[in-house]
Amino acid sequence: MNSIIEISNFSKSFGKQKAVSDLSFEVGKGEIFAFLGTNGSGKTTTIRCLLSIYQPDKGEMLIYGQKYNFELSKNIGYLPEERGIYTRVGVMELFMYFGSLRGIPQKETKDNALNYLERVGLIEHKDKQISQLSSGMQQKVQLGLALQHSPQLLILDEPFKGLDPINRQLFIDLFRELRQQGTTILYSTHVIDEAQKLTDRLVIIDKGKSKAYGSTKEVRKSQGSENMHLSFIGELPKNPKLFKSTQTNRTAELIPVKGVKPTTILKYLIDNNLEIINYSLDYPSLNEVFISLTNSNE
């Protein structure tokens, strides 16, 4: 794998608090890589150390084979978790200002900004002050600023923050387009459903420690292969001796108790008058894997 980002045996503490412990992973060229963890798991700390905002206590953190430096910043787009944009200026004014800081010609900055605002549904708000926009709209503006110089590497800390489902899908589509153009994307999130649809590979961390690492399929497969995914009509019966379940409206994922065959569970459901519309066996969903790995007491 041609690695763009290499993190090896990275650790970081704040006083007596260990934020990240002995973390290693690589991000390959042209892939979308998800950095998954609950709030406070060490995702933002890792990203800030990668970009030399903080200094690591131990380990190596390389981008294009180098420690982060100013020259590298010309090819990196960074979206921080917290809002980092001026709120008392207009949208286009903000794009023009940041474009000038990067040395992008004014006409190019303006054309690119208008194209982006049209793409994300903000063109009619181009003359409004940032403070007049919703949190989701501000997130779109902040992403646009990170994309302004057409970087080949995007590092995004919680990019779905403040977005409704429609705009989360908009970002997913945009990230896929960027990948097709050769852009490498590392993003952190705890929005797991999107990660299963979007990512090539991922790492899951909990309390600063790696819990799983690999392709989305590999990580799911490592946790089992006979989860039951079904849609149904009626009330899903419960039987903790046979399975536990995660239900969303009229769909559910059933996790068999060890030693219980899916056919036994299927018979139980039918005997209890559940009308099953669709049924399949698959690896655990990434959401189920995430919950299982980050709910441990280690």
CATH of the domain at 104: 3.40.50.300
The DSSP code for 29 is: T
Non-local (6+) Cβ contacts of 233 within 8 A are: 250, 274, 275, 277
Supply 146's token pair: 């990170």
95 occurs within a structural domain: yes
Residues 89-101, buried b or exposed e (16+ Cβ, 10 A)? ebbbebbbebbee
298 occurs within a structural domain: no
> Domain ends where: 168, 195, 221?
221
202 occurs within a structural domain: yes
- Same structural domain, 18 and 162: yes
- Same structural domain, 60 and 142: yes
- Same structural domain, 208 and 235: no
Burial class (CB in 10 A: 0-12, 13-18, 19+), 221: middle
Q: How far is CA 159 from CA 147, 261, 265, 279, in A?
A: 13, 40, 39, 33
- Same structural domain, 10 and 122: yes
Regions of the chain with pLDDT less than 70: 296-298
- Same structural domain, 162 and 88: yes
CB contact at 8 A, 288 and 227: yes
- Same structural domain, 264 and 175: no
- Same structural domain, 80 and 217: yes
242 occurs within a structural domain: yes
- Strand pairing class (243-248; 184-189): unpaired
Cα 180 to chain center, whole Å?
A: 18
Q: How far is CA 234 from CA 50, 202, 246, 263, 269, in A?
A: 50, 36, 15, 20, 11
- Same structural domain, 83 and 109: yes
294 occurs within a structural domain: no
What's the whole-model pTM score?
Answer: 0.87
- Same structural domain, 212 and 233: no
Residue 131's pLDDT is what? 95
Residue 84's pLDDT is what? 77
Domain boundaries, position 153: 3-221
- Same structural domain, 57 and 94: yes
- C-alpha 23/C-alpha 17 separation (Å) is 16
> Domain ends where: 151, 186, 221?
221
Q: How many domains does the chain have?
A: 2
22 occurs within a structural domain: yes
> Domain ends where: 201, 221, 241?
221
Residue type, 129: Q
292 occurs within a structural domain: no
pLDDT tens track for 70-103: 999 999 999 998 877 888 999 999 999 999 999 9
- Same structural domain, 134 and 22: yes
- Same structural domain, 126 and 242: no
CA angle 284, 286, 291 (to 5 degrees): 90
89 occurs within a structural domain: yes
